[in-house]
Chains A and B, each alone.
Chain A
């Protein structure tokens, strides 16, 4: 009972990659690489979630750290004060973050393009400031510490794998389903979409919610991974920026582009942290400029161009 828009190749491919990644750590013993990949999974999930709003709907957010941080702190608090188990706490954090996204996002999405983006900078920064001094939730500038659990960091690898896989699957569904088509229509011309029956406002709210909720869940994951979070880092503008970079450089609006961007981002940062710690933002700035000027679909665009050279052609989606 598979919907017509799901390609078997994609499902098989995703499952195969997941299987390899799931078994991988048991075959090699490199703890450093293991943890790096865990963080990459997190980056993939977050970047893809950002892309649902920024790429599919075309509303670029510079303030997504607001949801990441809120979800993280809510999840941490829930575990500390309510003794909530880890994964339900993540989900709880995600739900709160998703609702928050709706609260500021619903009225703000009436703004188009650059106005919306500027507003998100404001939201991100305002959230950071308010939460930094909301002692109960965030512990103020000292942050919150979660009780350390032996072996948790190691096990989080597989949780991260599931998270990333779900995000990839979600991206696929969101883009290729009839819903995805409606989102693209909204992105092209929101009013014309309404004129032919697309419930633009509702769909935008939906994307806002799931993007924000997933971000919040990622925040919870992050909190569990590091066992310590503080507001300056969780809500930081630099953190919001990182997803913009992952999304745009990887391929904004594509299904897995941002995942690619996340992989590159994490790897490059690890490499640069050793030798040139403060160069990476500038490097990404240059990359961003190059992408915007020459290859709007970023690395994915480059990959597609290469594939076309070798004769690959996309099939028309609708077998009508």
Chain B
């Protein structure tokens, strides 16, 4: 029973991270209809950024969240402005943008390798090993902090999308880009900002993940797939949908330990992805647009 509570809490905490991570991918897909294959690369970049700031400058990872997010936002804006913008929109651009962003991922990966070598790294702070009792189980402070940070990020995101003009413009473009130009929304600007936002979310998730798991430059493929599972499961609709889907994935992954050997749990996500894509391409909540 204690084990059950422990696993359940672990799932919930993990789901926070997954939701943040997935939303970055989903935002870009929902608005631009592009699958950002550099998503994994930016998660990895966020992890390294946080690690480097901590190792070299002693900055606590949670303090580094804002600067890393801003930097990643800029990277995303540049990626869109310099590269993605040149591709044709719509179905014709589908595989092309996939390959383009894949190329960017390779470059990012190589850059990380050159700068930091291929060894595993983690971010270890003074409080990394602390744990507190919660509902009869011992929960690491780290995981709680990550969850809190993820939750905060999602709340900010929700407010941004619902309450601000920018947010409404983003949702409008997601639904109907052509009409947006008629009401004075610069669709290209929104695309650029959304790409930046999605990239920033990926980096934030990466930074948070760096405090929990070891990572190296090849990190990212698994996270990309998990993000995709969450997006497809939860649909492109509300943050709530994403959160529920993230929870489902986390639950399946964590509880799978009870039935299959530990080394295969990573495969669970992949298998789930293929199953979900093939059986319910419309997502569990249907393919709604943002909002």
Residues of A within 8 A of B (CB): 58, 60, 62, 104, 107-108, 110-115, 117-119, 121-123, 125-126, 129-130, 132-133, 237, 241, 244, 248, 278-279, 281-289, 292-293, 296
Contact = CB atoms under 8 A, between A and B. Distances in A.
Interface of B: 35, 83, 86-87, 91, 94-100, 102-107, 109-111, 113-114, 118, 218, 221-222, 224-225, 228, 261, 263-264, 266-267, 269-271, 273-274, 277-278, 281
Contacts of B91: 113
Contacts of A283: 110
Most buried by A among B98, B107, B273, B274: B274
B114 A133 contact: no
A281 B94 CA distance: 23
A288 B224 CA distance: 20
B78 to A, nearest CB: 13
10 contacts: A60-B95, A110-B281, A113-B94, A125-B221, A237-B221, A279-B114, A282-B110, A284-B106, A285-B110, A292-B103
Given A58-B95, A113-B94, A296-B96, A282 B274 contact: no
A125 B83 contact: no
A281 to B, nearest CB: 5
Contact of B271 (A107, A112, A122, A282): A122
B274 A119 contact: yes
A107 B276 CA distance: 11
Given A111-B277, A122-B225, A286 B107 contact: yes
**What DSSP secondary structure best describes chain B's contact surface?**
helix
B98 A133 contact: no
A293 B83 contact: yes
B18 to A, nearest CB: 16
Nearest to A114: B35
Contacts of B274: 104, 108, 119, 122-123, 126
Contacts of A282: 106-107, 109-111, 113-114
A118 B37 CA distance: 9
Contacts of B261: 133
Contacts of A281: 106, 109-110
Given A60-B95, A114-B35, A244-B102, A108 B110 contact: no
7 tightest CB-CB pairs across the interface, nearest first? A282-B110, A285-B106, A288-B103, A126-B270, A285-B107, A113-B94, A289-B103
Contacts of A129: 263-264, 266-267, 270
Contact of B270 (A58, A117, A125, A287): A125
Contact of B103 (A119, A125, A130, A286): A286
Given A122-B273, A241-B106, 20 more contacts: A110-B278, A111-B277, A111-B278, A113-B91, A114-B94, A118-B228, A119-B273, A121-B270, A126-B270, A130-B264, A278-B110, A279-B114, A282-B113, A282-B114, A285-B103, A285-B110, A288-B99, A288-B106, A289-B104, A292-B100
